[in-house]
A and B are shown apart, each in its own frame.
Chain A
Amino acid sequence: MSRHNIVLSVNGKRTSLEVESDRSLLDVIREDLKLTGTKRGCDNGDCGACTVLLNGKPVNSCLVLAVQADGQDVSTIEGVALDDELHPIQEAFIEHGAVQCGFCTPAMIMTAKVLIEETPQPTREEIKKAISGTLCRCTGYVQIIDAIQSCGQSSK
């Protein structure tokens, strides 16, 4: 096991850490940085609850070694709200009943944020494909898709 000093940007903030080689980015986000919005669902890439943005792209943070985040940009759910206001995507999730237990919600929102930035008015099929890597056991997905689609339409 080796130890590494890393410097990364977390939600825009320069962050220095010492990490052991075998710790995952998920471990470090939750345990060292105390950013517990990102959830540990399965720890092996099968559920998507741990999704964060690595250089703007959704990844399973359980499958990224913390040391691999050296020099990279990491965005978590804590960075989504704008100062005192919720992001429009977060508002849409609430309005559409897309949050039940909330465990998949951070991952869904991170994914939705990237989707809408890349495809301002996504179709339902595009939304389904984008969220296909995150499981929800509560909602049956319809409200989540509705919420994301409503954001797309309103960003005209």
Chain B
Amino acid sequence: MASFDYIKPTSLNNLINYVSQAKLEGAILAGGTDLLNKIRSGLITKRALFDISDLKEISAIADEGDNLRIGAAVRMREIADSNVVRDSLPFLCMAAGQMGSPQIRNRATVGGNISSASPCADSVPPLMAAGAKLKLRSQDGDREVSLENFMKDAGQTSIRDHEVLTDIIVPKLGVGCRSHFCKVGRRKALAISVINLAGWLKTDPTGVVKDVKIVLGSVAPTAFRAKGAEAVLKGTIATRSIIQKAAKKAAEESSPISDIRGSEKERRLLVEAWTFRLIEVLTS
């Protein structure tokens, strides 16, 4: 394993300066639960790691009225334990509490989970379904991009090599919205998702679906909105047969691969079954 220098920037500006200089030869070390494995296995090589552990500017969950502002360095455990996340984005709370393991959640950060751009990242489906936007900062200033547009491909985001992800701005789910997250793995913990999915839904007083967002993960190069499935549900009262139709559509919209965790065929079946269950929960 080629080694790296360890640097601990003292402030966000200090970090940005380092990142600007190092560009692709440097990497941000947050929880390290993914990065250190990749470095040790030789998958990636970096000359320097910048530890963001104590950067207060990006370590808080802030309630900003209509939105939550979640600092990129916030640990998954903090998100799972947060009352304001539980109340305003229940499905994000669920996802954060199921990712990895307790030990991993005590270190892993939401910024790292997004930036590693694994198709299986657990925080991405609920954040995408909620319409999260990312704040990126560089010496040139700030940039905002939707999470949907940020995720480009498996392992790839649209971050520029002199930029730092600082915040995730998530609109709170409104009153009357129900949300849910499902993680399907080969076991209940310490499992990389075979499929994962998140959704929220709101009905009008007569039970007609007013708005719905469903995001599927692990079944395409990035998590994505199952817009076909959403369209099946919108404007209807979700009967069993409509939910079945939506679930089938979701499976059709997916492009899973076969890998050590499951075959393409299995994944498609799982998408159909679990989208059905997700919508059942959201409409029950």
Contact = CB atoms under 8 A, between A and B. Distances in A.
Q: Do A and B come from one complex?
A: yes
Interface of A: 1-2, 4, 20-22, 24, 43-48, 51, 54, 57-60, 63-65, 67-68, 111, 129-130, 132-135
Contact of B36 (A47, A65, A67): A65
B177 interface: no
Given A4-B6, A63-B31, 7 more contacts: A20-B3, A21-B6, A59-B106, A60-B104, A64-B107, A132-B189, A133-B101
Contacts of A43: 40
Enumerate the 9 nearest inter-chain pairs by beta-carbon distance, A residue then B residue, closest first: A133-B101, A132-B189, A1-B3, A21-B6, A2-B5, A133-B103, A57-B106, A60-B103, A133-B102
A154 to B, nearest CB: 23
Contacts, number: 85
B110 interface: no
B100 interface: yes
A40 to B, nearest CB: 13
Contacts of A67: 6
A67 B103 CA distance: 19
Given A22-B3, A45-B104, A64 B32 contact: yes
30 contacts: A1-B5, A21-B3, A22-B6, A44-B37, A44-B40, A45-B33, A45-B104, A48-B101, A48-B103, A54-B106, A58-B102, A60-B103, A60-B107, A64-B32, A64-B107, A65-B6, A65-B51, A67-B6, A68-B29, A68-B51, A68-B53, A111-B102, A129-B102, A130-B102, A132-B101, A132-B190, A133-B189, A133-B190, A134-B101, A134-B103
A132 B102 contact: yes
B195 to A, nearest CB: 20
Contacts of A63: 31-33, 36-37, 104, 107
B260 interface: no
Nearest to A131: B102
Contacts of A133: 100-104, 189-190
Interface string B38-61: 001000000001010100000000
A113 B10 CA distance: 34
A43 B1 CA distance: 14
A132 B105 CA distance: 12
Contacts of A20: 3
Contacts of A45: 33, 37, 100-101, 103-104
A20 B40 CA distance: 15
Nearest to B104: A45
B51 A1 contact: no
Nearest to A110: B103
B107 A59 contact: yes
A127 to B, nearest CB: 12
B280 to A, nearest CB: 23
B240 interface: no
B6 A2 contact: yes
